[in-house]
Structure 1
Amino acid sequence: MKKIALGNSDFKTIIEDDRYFVDKTLLIKEFLEDSSQIILIPRPRRFGKTLNLSMIRYFVEKCDKDRRYLFNNLLIEKEEDIMKRQGIYPTIYLTFKDEKHNKFNSLIERIKWFITEIYNEHKEVYNILKDKQDKDFFNKIINSDYSIAELELALKNLCKYLYEYHGEKVIILIDEYDTPIQHSYFSGIYDETIGFMRNFLSNTLKDNIYLEKAMLTGILRVARESIFSGLNNLKLNTILKNAYCDKFGFTDVEIEKILNDFNVVEQREEFKRWYNGYIFGNTVIYNPWSVLCYLDDRDSGFMPHWVNTSENKIIKTILAKGSEGLKKSFEELLRGNTIEVSIDENIVMADIERDENNIWSFLLMSGYLKVVGRRTEGKDFYYSLKIPNLEVESMYEKIIRDWQSESYVASEYNEMLKALVNFDFKVFKLIFSRYVRESFSYFDVSGKMPEKVYHAFTLGLLVSLSRTHQVLSNRESGYGRYDIMVIPKDISKIGIIIEFKKYYEEYDETIEELIEEARKQIEDKKYETELINRGITNIKKLVIVFKGKEVYINDVS
């Protein structure tokens, strides 16, 4: 059995070292036959973007050595017309996948270094330059003595030089173009980074008469910031489109072959539960990184791999500062249910925290959710979303646990939950009161604080009690809707109904009256009906009233 080249994204090395390779070479055919000049393919992290661009580069790039042997016995070799185009194009390859900088000057210096290296790779073209201005520009780049304005023109000028030297138009391949943009969102250099990337990419790709084709990969399309302003020849292929849908990640057919090759066919269902669930266009896709990580270390069993490589800071921020509606939606997702939202394929990083639809779009495009249905309403499209698999679900659970640890000491939170399910009322009352006070400082909110605490508490219950209890919120039971119900899977245990109330100074109601109102609501609406129908007879009822920073907890069983 061939060994897996885990973490190696260089196509040539994988082929020459005879490592295990899932044949995606028909991507080359789809790219070269695409009628669009500029192809943008956003895909989640570690879904094979860098390897695929490396593969295209080794196929199309004109160089001194014949690279046709790299494609022996691969699918593309059967495409005679495409094979005639092998090795005929001057090619520029640039990757931004590691460009995560906290200072704008550091980003610029790194990109300058890349551009100088690319010019050095093609320094033979200098000798055919006739215009003094072109020679001076080339020397500036080679000597790393040039301005940001000249940097923004560097690739377009190089296309001209390469065309004049080779007599063929240029192919440009840019990997993970949006990595610096995403990182800049947290490092305080967002506006500067957007401004530079807009000029750099537009100057390179717009109205470039020396350009044959270009492919860009990334995670998101950030078009609203006008990064691709005026690029009428750009084709966007997000995970919602069918084009290129089977070229990134592993398909069912490919997984079947992989399982047979590694003699793990009997584990097919576990592979599906853990690493399947992504849907690109109409094609079911497995996470390639996680699949290969598992096969490389089968003794460790099924576990999260892909989510452990990611920076989940933005998701933690979203959960902590999100609206009441957002937290309700996450409650549904963690129960295995779907939510329906509108999706915008154009992500505006600066609006992710301000616009809930942008949040869902970000999570979908980044691989943290999947589409399971779509409907239209007029000109609007609505998508049903779900957590794709156990691996991603484990990430959400970890984020919530970490989040609870940050907003409150984890050991005390666990003690609070233990006191709740055992209905040790005095201990629960003491710790929950402290929990609310801590959460006031953690959440940057004002008047809606009780709702924030309520849903934060519910999310924590969902995650922490999922093995022994079912936690429901805002569901119908009897003649009304309760706030929270904690349902033990062992019906001999205690079932708990929790009702929340908020004290408003402008209303003429006392704390005692609110408690009585909640108690009467629980009784009159017969909230215990669902518990009784499940065979649970030991039922406890709690009323929790919020008044500013104070909280009143009462057993009204």
Structure 2
Amino acid sequence: MARTVGIGTQSFETVREKNTFYVDKTSFIKEWWENQDDVTLITRPRRFGKTLNMDMIKCFFSNKYEGRRDLFEGLDIWEDEKYRELQGTYPVIFLSFAGIKGNTFEVTQQQICIKISDIYEENRYLLDGDILSENEKKFYESVSMDMSDAVCSMALNKMCIFMHKYYGKKAIILLDEYDTPMQEAYVNGYWEELVAFTRSLFNSTFKTKPYLERAIMTGITSVSKESIFSDLNNLVVVTSTSKQYETAFGFTEEEVFNALDEQGLSDKKEEVKMWYDGFTFGDKKDIYNPWSIINFLKFKSLKTYWADSSSNGLINNLVQKGSSYIKTMLETLISGKTINVRIDEQIVFSELQYSEDAVWSLMLASGYLKVISSEELNLTRESENEYELGLTNREILFMFRKMILRWFSSAKMETNGFVRALIGGDIESMNEYMNDVALKTFSSFDSGKHISEKKAPERFYHGFVLGLMVDQTENYIINSNRESGYGRYDIMLEPVDKENIKYPGIVIEFKVINPRKENSLEETVEAALQQIKEKDYDAELIKRGVDKENIHHYGFAFKGKEVLIDGD
């Protein structure tokens, strides 16, 4: 009988007690325990079962779940007698930073203090009797939502000591979504303040201590050790390219296909694979994101469940305001091709606006890109490799298409009007619409930080080409040829139906005015049209079956937000 599929349940205890759909990941407990690492940081994309796995570990080891064999009977871990003896035998400290999303450092700091003070409230029995000294009890009482930085930084370390005194065993610490505050700090501009605060907290908590048995942290990104882990020499970092815990998070293809069989959806395997397969961890390929699979099992409809479960705000901001290089690389990815870039999996958030490669590192860690192949460039730095990357799957492709179309939502009517005029050869309307589009959306592509007069318009117009790519896929195959210089950007729109004269072949040359060569936009647009002729761009379209009489040429000349279009 098919199990009921529940959405969003992150409590292992609830899943097991209600016997709802669950993919057995308890072998992760054994793998982690036998690796004997003091502190482990595991990064995986969002909604990949990190919280449920951490809750599973809590239920397995915590002495508050002593005797709860019913939660694990029938699962992989319970087949080993040695691990049956371990269940419910350790004090466990569990906390999650998933909900810590303050707009200011002060709010975030207090949210962290509240999380820690909640742990102290849950364990107030430790104050009973004479197990703790008077000074220790005084410290215990000083832990509150308004505690000082000094008290907060020591609070988890002290809790390990208190639990050791009470139970006679070292404590296990589980910290879920450790990097959520980091991403919020970057977006909201208080990165440096939070780094200093977090570094003090983490070093005090996780540095080799006599009262800490082991610890696990999970998150999406591996924040650079220099930022917050500078004093931790006992930290093992497991990223998406590491060969540890390859199948512990996410669903393998076998697990997905078994689930489809159970739910009577065996005939949907190929469609599900096309939409949701593609993640790779270590050497293990064909990993599926659990959120989309679980939603598909419940609603039996192919949709962008995982991609739509978050605003993707940080990625959107970095791409939209990023350089022309970033936009043209994304263009390559959307067209189904791959890119070759250097990846450092230790994310330095403060460098994201200045390091183009850091953007691809973040996209890889977040699950939007997958590794096709890699080549080690520097044997002295394991993290510095060149990777061939592609979009993960169809769901991610659709996510980026939606994201790009939203860039022009404020000028949707003008954009649609421009495209109609472009196809219909109405140059007067093209000028009117394009100037309106630029006026309404230009600033959203400009980060406003040291962007030159040349670079700022390029970022908009490269973004506009991406918009054309995703909005005209049914009618056109869009090819581009990029060169450096004064904003040169050629695109060719090859009609899908070569016989339909309503969709002409289109050649466009983009040029930003060069004051040293041209005195006006009229001269710039004429130079653009002349370049189309000199380069004989028609030859490529004709070779692909487009009638020479049905090819339109357009020159686009730009000066800031001002646009002039002409054609022949």
Tell me the TM-score normalized by structure 2: 0.92
Q: Which residue of 2 aligns with 1:266?
A: 267
CA RMSD of aligned residues (A): 2.0
**Structure 1 residues 315 and 302: alpha-carbon distance in aligned structure 2, compared to 1, 3 A threshold:** same
Out of 511, 515, 528, the position equivalent to 1:505 is: 515
Out of 472, 475, 481, the position equivalent to 1:474 is: 481
Letter in 2 for 1:505: P
Q: Which residue of 1 aligns with 2:291?
A: 289
Letter in 2 for 1:19: T
The worse-fitting range, judged by mean Cα deviation, of 433-442 and 355-364 is: 433-442
Q: Which residue of 1 aligns with 2:428?
A: 426
Quote how far apart the aligned CAs of 1:222 are: 1.2
Q: Which residue of 1 aligns with 2:337?
A: 337
Q: Which residue of 1 aligns with 2:376?
A: 376
- SS at structure 1 position matched to 2:508: strand
Gaps of 5+ in 1: none
Quote how far apart the aligned CAs of 1:78 are: 1.2
For 2:166 and 2:516, the matched residues in 1 are separated by: 80
Kindly indicate whether the alpha-carbon contact (under 8 Å) linking 1:375 and 1:381 is maintained by their aligned counterparts in 2: yes
Q: Does 1:458 align with 2:460?
A: no
Q: Which residue of 2 aligns with 1:399?
A: 403
Q: Which residue of 2 aligns with 1:95?
A: 96
For 1:29 and 1:520, the matched residues in 2 are separated by: 69
Superimposed CA distance per residue, residues 163-186 of structure 1 (whole angstroms, 9 cap, x where no aligned partner):
122121111101001111111222
Out of 544, 558, 563, the position equivalent to 1:551 is: 563
Task: Tell me which stretches of 4 or more aligned residues in structure 1 moved more than 4 Å.
Answer: 508-516
Quote how far apart the aligned CAs of 1:64 are: 6.7
The worse-fitting range, judged by mean Cα deviation, of 355-364 and 113-122 is: 113-122
For 1:105 and 1:521, the matched residues in 2 are separated by: 57
Quote how far apart the aligned CAs of 1:240 are: 0.7
Q: Does 1:389 align with 2:393?
A: yes
Quote how far apart the aligned CAs of 1:318 are: 1.5
Letter in 2 for 1:286: Y
Quote how far apart the aligned CAs of 1:88 are: 1.2
**Structure 1 residues 459 and 482: alpha-carbon distance in aligned structure 2, compared to 1, 3 A threshold:** closer
For 1:264 and 1:499, the matched residues in 2 are separated by: 50
Quote how far apart the aligned CAs of 1:516 are: 4.4
Superimposed CA distance per residue, residues 440-489 of structure 1 (whole angstroms, 9 cap, x where no aligned partner):
4443342224422331221011011011111111079xxxx981101110
Q: Which residue of 1 aligns with 2:83?
A: 82
- SS at structure 1 position matched to 2:29: helix
Q: How does 1:501-540 map to 2 (within 5 A)?
A: 501-507=511-517, 513-537=523-547, 538-540=550-552
Superimposed CA distance per residue, residues 244-264 of structure 1 (whole angstroms, 9 cap, x where no aligned partner):
110111001111211111111
For 1:361 and 1:418, the matched residues in 2 are separated by: 38
Quote how far apart the aligned CAs of 1:511 are: 5.0
Superimposed CA distance per residue, residues 83-106 of structure 1 (whole angstroms, 9 cap, x where no aligned partner):
222111111111111111123333
For 2:404 and 2:235, the matched residues in 1 are separated by: 39
The worse-fitting range, judged by mean Cα deviation, of 106-115 and 93-102 is: 106-115
Q: Which residue of 2 aligns with 1:31?
A: 32
Quote how far apart the aligned CAs of 1:515 are: 4.3
Gaps of 5+ in 2: none
Q: Which residue of 2 aligns with 1:226?
A: 227
For 1:120 and 1:516, the matched residues in 2 are separated by: 74
Give the number of equivalent residue pairs. 547
Letter in 1 for 2:375: R
Superimposed CA distance per residue, residues 115-160 of structure 1 (whole angstroms, 9 cap, x where no aligned partner):
233223333333343532112112333x667322111111101111
For 2:278 and 2:532, the matched residues in 1 are separated by: 40
Q: Does 1:166 align with 2:178?
A: no
**Structure 1 residues 110 and 324: alpha-carbon distance in aligned structure 2, compared to 1, 3 A threshold:** closer
Quote how far apart the aligned CAs of 1:430 are: 2.0
For 1:185 and 1:399, the matched residues in 2 are separated by: 21
Q: Does 1:488 align with 2:492?
A: no
Letter in 2 for 1:499: E
- SS at structure 2 position matched to 1:302: coil
**Structure 1 residues 547 and 84: alpha-carbon distance in aligned structure 2, compared to 1, 3 A threshold:** same
Superimposed CA distance per residue, residues 27-75 of structure 1 (whole angstroms, 9 cap, x where no aligned partner):
1001111131101001111100000000001101113741122100101
The worse-fitting range, judged by mean Cα deviation, of 466-475 and 19-28 is: 466-475
Kindly indicate whether the alpha-carbon contact (under 8 Å) linking 1:128 and 1:165 is maintained by their aligned counterparts in 2: no
For 2:375 and 2:73, the matched residues in 1 are separated by: 45
Q: How does 1:38-117 map to 2 (within 5 A)?
A: 38-63=39-64, 65-117=66-118
Kindly indicate whether the alpha-carbon contact (under 8 Å) linking 1:14 and 1:20 is maintained by their aligned counterparts in 2: yes
Kindly indicate whether the alpha-carbon contact (under 8 Å) linking 1:224 and 1:347 is maintained by their aligned counterparts in 2: no
Quote how far apart the aligned CAs of 1:271 are: 0.8
- SS at structure 2 position matched to 1:474: strand
**Structure 1 residues 467 and 13: alpha-carbon distance in aligned structure 2, compared to 1, 3 A threshold:** same
For 2:311 and 2:65, the matched residues in 1 are separated by: 41
- SS at structure 2 position matched to 1:500: strand
State the identity as a percent. 39
Tell me the TM-score normalized by structure 1: 0.94
- SS at structure 2 position matched to 1:84: helix
Quote how far apart the aligned CAs of 1:80 are: 2.2
For 2:522 and 2:311, the matched residues in 1 are separated by: 47
Kindly indicate whether the alpha-carbon contact (under 8 Å) linking 1:316 and 1:403 is maintained by their aligned counterparts in 2: no
Superimposed CA distance per residue, residues 362-410 of structure 1 (whole angstroms, 9 cap, x where no aligned partner):
111011111111123344410111111121111111111111124xx11
Q: Which residue of 2 aligns with 1:139?
A: 141
For 2:289 and 2:78, the matched residues in 1 are separated by: 26
Letter in 1 for 2:117: T
Kindly indicate whether the alpha-carbon contact (under 8 Å) linking 1:423 and 1:494 is maintained by their aligned counterparts in 2: no
**Structure 1 residues 399 and 375: alpha-carbon distance in aligned structure 2, compared to 1, 3 A threshold:** same
The worse-fitting range, judged by mean Cα deviation, of 120-129 and 163-172 is: 120-129
- SS at structure 2 position matched to 1:63: helix
For 1:441 and 1:101, the matched residues in 2 are separated by: 26
Quote how far apart the aligned CAs of 1:501 are: 2.5
